Amino acid sequence: MAVNAVHWFRKGLRLHDNPALKECIRGADTIRCVYILDPWFAGSSNVGINRWRNSERAHAVPALPVGPLAIFSRFFCFLLFLVPAIEPPGPCTCGSGSRTAELNPGPRFLLQCLEDLDANLRKLNSRLFVIRGQPADVFPRLFKEWNITKLSIEYDSEPFGKERDAAIKKLATEAGVEVIVRISHTLYDLDKIIELNGGQPPLTYKRFQTLISKMEPLEIPVETITSEVIEKCVTPLSDDHDEKYGVPSLEELGFDTDGLPSAVWPGGETEALTRLERHLERKAWVANFERPRMNANSLLASPTGLSPYLRFGCLSCRLFYFKLTDLYKKVKKNSSPPLSLYGQLLWREFFYTAATNNPRFDKMEGNPICVQIPWDKNPEALAKWAEGRTGFPWIDAIMTQLRQEGWIHHLARHAVACFLTRGDLWVSWEEGMKVFEELLLDADWSINAGSWMWLSCSSFFQQFFHCYCPVGFGRRTDPNGDYIRRYLPVLRGFPAKYIYDPWNAPEGIQKVAKCLIGVNYPKPMVNHAEASRLNIERMKQIYQQLSRYRGLGLLASVPSNPNGNGGLMGYAPGESIPGSSGSGSCAHGSGILPCAHTDGQQAHLLKPGKAEALAPALPAAFLSSASHFRCAGRNCVGPVLSSGKRPSQEEDAQSIGPKLQRQSTD
């Protein structure tokens, strides 16, 4: 009996280090590589579609037939999901200039990933089969039509992915199809980490490090799929393959590409491997790894940036890990790599582990590790933030870059996330997370949600008195304001002295700059000094009441992420955060100065017991349901922020670098 195999690509859009695909090919007579373009499911695997999803609209779209005759209607419905949840504003006189609907980088990046994968498969006399539909509808048809006997997938650790895959496995079993699942999107088997921690995910980074130090050495990457690997396994192709199963173009999806600039982040495995080599060429950086100093240039996308490629699986995290290890050993002989060298990868694993068994990880309500904070509902403020119309050039430039390029520096993420939540606007982290999910190319579900909880002091971190100044932080990073001029050309004419707080510029300077504040660019939407002071008091009272009612002490201390291109994390409790303060003041140069941009009202350090009445009364929902807490007798512990036994002092002090196999990937 012929063995007809299908490999289902979701993440893991690559041919290198793809153990599921390699195992699928072994012993197969035919192989088809499939990608299902599904604009309806609300999970994180259909990148480029879920960024613009609207669940109510998605549920209203009727199921359409699958097949070549339905291509046009498929494309039409597909377009419904490529509209940002918050539309860019139309032309206005009080903003950064006229705006029109922009093509978000997400669809182009995804299509480029698929085009590159198809091109690489062509070199092996194979092709990628792009099929439009929902997996639960598509696979029963494919099993029969192609007489499939074997299906392979990369393990998806996220709750939605596990639920989806369980349903497909059930369909496959009923059809007599063998299912192969292999782990390759993460370094570790997350279930084993949780098992080692007594059945609970570690919710402190230090505990996570301790656990992985006790695990078996990491498996080295498997060989790349080549013509030698694929050998006698053939791909049945028809003359109308492109019509039936080709990767759609932006034009076919209805986008006007005239004048479309070149992609800042070209998608695909080929680009990912090229960037990896550039990354590794920086031998001095690898040998003397330390926290990169943030400057104006670091705010721009780097040609060695890798985060979107790790997110889509165009680059294997294991390959990256072992390449770093090999290079470090060549440069620093007789020296073991520091754990900080793998910071970005290990933070990624940490959040994947924390989220894998928590389907409410991206929600506040019902999330056992999230403090229930009574955030304001303010759609107007949210829209101004998302559209870059806050009146703070530093914040608006960051959000403009995000919308145009799909990426912003990790400390820029800090700034805008703090501004939206506990710093200024007091809007829920869930709303900011959704905008990042729509716009960020590297917005992994687990990492995105975990980072927003961390930065809003909803979990993992509680130093709410650190507040990023929307003027001083940017000025300290880029004193000349070149970043502002690049993304907010309406402010280009302002001198450096006023470009971060143009409302303080005399009217004559505004006229010379051809930008009147309140006419050509908005006034600040909030008084930062007052808002940050009020919000710090709110957070203070929330934590005092939580401590009082639940016996909660300090939340988990989260060490810093040393990677300059990492996620939202960058600074740990107790670290000096550039451009932030505990008083709503602004960092300027090397010192902390009172805010000079708030109509003369300076923020001040909070004093114990002062202004507690400023915080709103906490609703009953603040006291999360009993199932979210561990209680013993009369002592209750608040949201479960540290699972398993508390690590001993010896565990905390020991070297906790992961064990490595010594084989080289060269």
Region of residue 576 (phi > 0: left; psi between -120 and 50: alpha; otherwise: beta): beta
Q: Please state the separation of Cα 113 from the chain's center in Å.
A: 18
Q: Is 349 annotated as belonging to a binding site?
A: yes
Question: Mean pLDDT over residues 204-225, rounded?
Answer: 94
pLDDT at 289: 58
Question: Mean pLDDT over residues 321-342, rounded?
Answer: 78
pLDDT at residue 425 tops 90: yes
Q: Is 383 annotated as belonging to a binding site?
A: no
Averaged pLDDT of the chain: 76
* Beta strands 30-37 and 128-132, pairing class: parallel
Residue 591, C-beta contacts closer than 8 angstroms, at least 6 positions apart = none
Dihedral angle of Cα 185, 189, 193, 199, to the nearest 10 degrees: 110
Other Cβ atoms less than 10 A from the Cβ of 312: the count is 25
Between 334 and 55, the higher pLDDT residue: 334
Q: Which amino acid is at 590?
A: S
**Counts for the chain of helices (H) and strands (E), in that order:** 25, 11
pLDDT at 71: 33
pLDDT at residue 563 tops 50: no
Length of the chain: 666
* HSE value, Cβ hemisphere, 13 Å, CA-based, for 262: 1
Q: DSSP alpha helices (H): ranges in 429-527? A: 429-439, 445-455, 472-477, 482-487, 507-512
Burial label for 623, CB within 10 Å (0-12, 13-18, 19+), is middle
595: confidence class by pLDDT, cuts 50, 70, 90: very low
The separation between the first and the last C-alpha atoms of the chain, rounded to the nearest angstrom, is 39
* Beta strands 630-632 and 635-637, pairing class: antiparallel
Q: Is 575 annotated as belonging to a binding site?
A: no
pLDDT at 334: 65
CA distance 355 to 528: 33
H or E element, residue 108: helix 105-122
Q: Is 285 annotated as belonging to a binding site?
A: no
Question: Mean pLDDT over residues 190-202, rounded?
Answer: 97
Residue 546, C-beta contacts closer than 8 angstroms, at least 6 positions apart = 371, 552, 622, 638
Q: Is 347 annotated as belonging to a binding site?
A: yes
Lowest mean pLDDT among 367-381, 473-487, 575-589: 575-589
Q: Is 351 annotated as belonging to a binding site?
A: yes
CA distance 626 to 455: 25
Q: Is 444 annotated as belonging to a binding site?
A: yes
Structure letter (DSSP) for residue 422: I
Question: Mean pLDDT over residues 315-344, rounded?
Answer: 82
Between 654 and 104, the higher pLDDT residue: 104
Structure letter (DSSP) for residue 55: H
Q: Is 654 annotated as belonging to a binding site?
A: no
Q: Which of 420, 463, 410, 415 is nearest to 440 (CA)?
A: 410
- Strand partners for 154: 182
Quote the radius of gyration of the chain (alpha carbons, Å). 25
pLDDT at 331: 77
Lowest mean pLDDT among 193-197, 445-449, 535-539: 535-539
CA distance 356 to 358: 6
Q: Tens of pLDDT along 410-422?
A: 999 999 999 999 9
pLDDT at residue 354 tops 80: yes
pLDDT at 44: 35
CA distances 595 to 167, 324, 469, 581, Å, are 55, 43, 8, 11
Beta strands in 347-499 (DSSP E): 467-468
Q: Which amino acid is at 315?
A: L
561: confidence class by pLDDT, cuts 50, 70, 90: very low
Q: Which of 10, 9, 45 is nearest to 24 (CA)?
A: 9
pLDDT at residue 408 tops 70: yes
Q: Which residue has the tokens 């495995």?
A: 269
Question: Mean pLDDT over residues 211-228, rounded?
Answer: 95
pLDDT at 283: 66
Q: Is 345 annotated as belonging to a binding site?
A: yes
Lowest mean pLDDT among 282-286, 372-376, 431-435, 487-491: 282-286
Between 579 and 87, the higher pLDDT residue: 579
Q: Tens of pLDDT along 537-547?
A: 999 988 888 87
Q: What is the 3-state secondary structure of 451-463?
A: HHHHHCCCCCCCC
pLDDT at 279: 86
327: confidence class by pLDDT, cuts 50, 70, 90: confident
- Strand partners for 637: 630
CA distance 371 to 556: 13
pLDDT at residue 335 tops 80: no
Q: Is 350 annotated as belonging to a binding site?
A: yes
Q: Tens of pLDDT along 123-165?
A: 999 999 999 999 999 999 999 999 999 999 999 999 999 999 9
Share of the chain above pLDDT 90, in %: 58
Q: Tens of pLDDT along 636-647?
A: 222 333 333 333
Other Cβ atoms less than 10 A from the Cβ of 94: the count is 15
CA distance 330 to 557: 34
